């Protein structure tokens, strides 16, 4: 996950894509490490489906806003 995120962040075409981490590593230090690495959100297992869906919705909204900003340039 961290390597994939780093690869996405290095590429101009994918740098703005909001990436959601879904992990069994649920210690607060793990979550903090994920957020600091640049994940849009860091969800832990077991997850609540409503929380996952709400997170995806927020990520899609952010992605749409970012696309709109790019098109306005």
Q: What is the pLDDT of residues 47-62, one digit of tens each?
A: 899 999 999 999 998 8
H-helix segments, 1-73: 2-10, 28-37, 49-72
Question: Which residues have CB under 8 Å from 26's CB, separation 6+?
Answer: 44, 45
Spatial distance between the Cα atoms of 19 and 14, rounded to a whole number of angstroms: 10
Does the pTM exceed 0.85?
no
- What is the model's pLDDT at position 1? 87
């Amino acid at each position: 996950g961290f390597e994939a995120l780093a690869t996405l962040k290095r590429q101009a075409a994918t740098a703005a894509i909001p990436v959601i981490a879904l992990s069994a590593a649920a210690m607060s230090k793990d979550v903090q490490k994920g957020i600091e690495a640049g994940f849009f959100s860091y969800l832990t297992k077991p997850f609540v489906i409503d929380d996952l869906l709400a997170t995806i919705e927020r990520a899609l909204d952010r992605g749409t806003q970012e696309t709109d900003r790019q098109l306005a340039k």
